[in-house]
Structure 1
């Protein structure tokens, strides 16, 4: 490259491009208003009215304003309900739709994450849902242990499960908060070394002319 100034500009532009910001969205639901357990076997960890749904989403960039129930794809997510923890690492299904106000804050949502591992002879279904975009606003938690005769959805639709552990709160949505997370930028020492190397390269090119 014949233009040293252009070389330096391009290099520092590359460094600047490596500094980006992701957005962390945290949902805190209200405590469950109703819990129930059915089946012949008691769950090891039944829901209580002190439990709640919590969600943490990390998005590559902050949400734009005035969205109307659009799907989003978080880089990472964690759902908890006091009994189960469902993340991008163990979920077998997940879904995220949001609406935002003019400032990009979440004001309506439909989200679900679940672990579904059922087969002939047993299995588990763990599902966490939070929603304030439908007629029935609700946070729900399901923790179901399938019986020995279960097969697929028959675990909850037909056969008697070992236990069916559920919790819900209706018409009482929780709240969202947002945090912008800056990615690490090059340390000052690295910047100095990089700049020194560039100066040396430019000086060498001038001597060789």
Structure 2
């Protein structure tokens, strides 16, 4: 096997690797909070500020499919923060991740929610949300110590001890990225379409076959 043939085969394997996806990490960066709602009967350990925002990462087994319509996905793992609370797949009570994509798999709408709740008889409740739909963008963060009358299903906003700090923004849609490339509306970066990978591979296969045939002549 000559040097040219070896180089072509090496290129063939390199291009083939493009078609095999490893885990995909989506990174979200929201707009800074603009509205705040603190309160309570005891001091708040840490309040949200205008420097805080919703941000985080979601690890998926593969790229999102094209033409999704508010489809729920199950991440391999995730971590989100609002600057006060940090919620992960290891510590949440419930979570939901829904995406809408266009024909190229670009994210156009989303609904992200993660909550930790231990409110029965009074306890912490933390919620982080990020949304973009027909009504516009909305990011939200909550950290609360629920009042003593709280139940497992509800957090009473009164009683001692009790505090609440929440923040939100609808100023602008957040940005999704994958491997450092934007994947949000109008951002312009898309996953590599499969036909752009398979066509060069097919061309290389044909070239290798032609060279092998000529060597036999």
* Same fold flag (TM > 0.5): yes
Contact 1:71 1:96 in 2 (8 A): yes
* TM-score under structure 2 length normalisation: 0.69
1:156/1:173 CA distance change after superposition, 3 Å: farther
**Matches of 2:106 and 2:160 in 1, distance apart?**
43
Q: Which residue of 1 aligns with 2:145?
A: 145
Q: Which residue of 1 aligns with 2:48?
A: 47
Q: Which residue of 1 aligns with 2:204?
A: none
Q: Which residue of 2 aligns with 1:173?
A: 173
Following TM superposition, by how much is the alpha carbon of 1:135 offset from its aligned partner in structure 2, in angstroms? 2.1
Following TM superposition, by how much is the alpha carbon of 1:94 offset from its aligned partner in structure 2, in angstroms? 0.2
* TM-score under structure 1 length normalisation: 0.71
Q: For structure 1, which segment, 91-100 or 168-177, has the greater mean C-alpha deviation from structure 2 after superposition?
A: 168-177
Contact 1:66 1:104 in 2 (8 A): yes
**What runs of 5+ residues in structure 2 fail to find an aligned partner?**
1-16, 181-217
Rg larger in structure: 1
- Cα deviation per residue 1:25-64 (whole Å; 9 max; x = unaligned)? 0110010001121112121111001100002000001111
Q: Which residue of 2 aligns with 1:80?
A: 81
**Matches of 2:123 and 2:176 in 1, distance apart?**
33
* Correspondence list, 1:8-157, <5 A: 20-120=21-121, 122-135=122-135, 137-156=137-156
Question: How large is the RMSD of aligned CA atoms in angstroms?
Answer: 2.1
- Cα deviation per residue 1:80-110 (whole Å; 9 max; x = unaligned)? 0000010000010000100112222211001
Contact 1:144 1:161 in 2 (8 A): no
